[in-house]
Amino acid sequence: MNMPEAFTTMCSKLGQDTPKPRFTSVDVFFTYLLSDFTAKELGEIASFMSGLLRNGLNDAQLMRIWRGEGSDFCVTRESEGDVAEFFRMILNAIEDKRRAT
């Protein structure tokens, strides 16, 4: 499965050295995370992330992919399924953004 450049760009938006706004809500967080992407790029991100989830990767594998693309953002509370749930939240936010346009 080829990793789309847009996924790497999205992950790097949460890198340690990347300036970020103050996240006052989950909606603000996802608005920031998904901003600057075209509909095509959002589709590529969604397709890639859906494929990872369909392949049944565990949280450790998903986190390695997430962090390997430049994100320092911790997406787990130490319970198995946390990272997969975060990925599903991104997919839901992409779908919400698509419906709104």
Contact 29, 79 (CB under 8 A): no
Both tokens assigned to 13: 């938006």
Cα–Cα distance measured from residue 101 to residue 39, given in angstroms and rounded to the nearest whole number: 9
pLDDT digits (tens, 9 = 90+) for 18-59: 666 677 788 888 888 999 999 999 999 999 999 999 999 998
pTM of the model: 0.85
8-state DSSP, 79? S
What's the rounded Cα separation, in Å, for the pair 87 and 95?
12
The domains of the chain are located at 5-12+24-100
Amino acid at position 28, single letter: V
Q: What would the two tokens of residue 21 be?
A: 């706004």
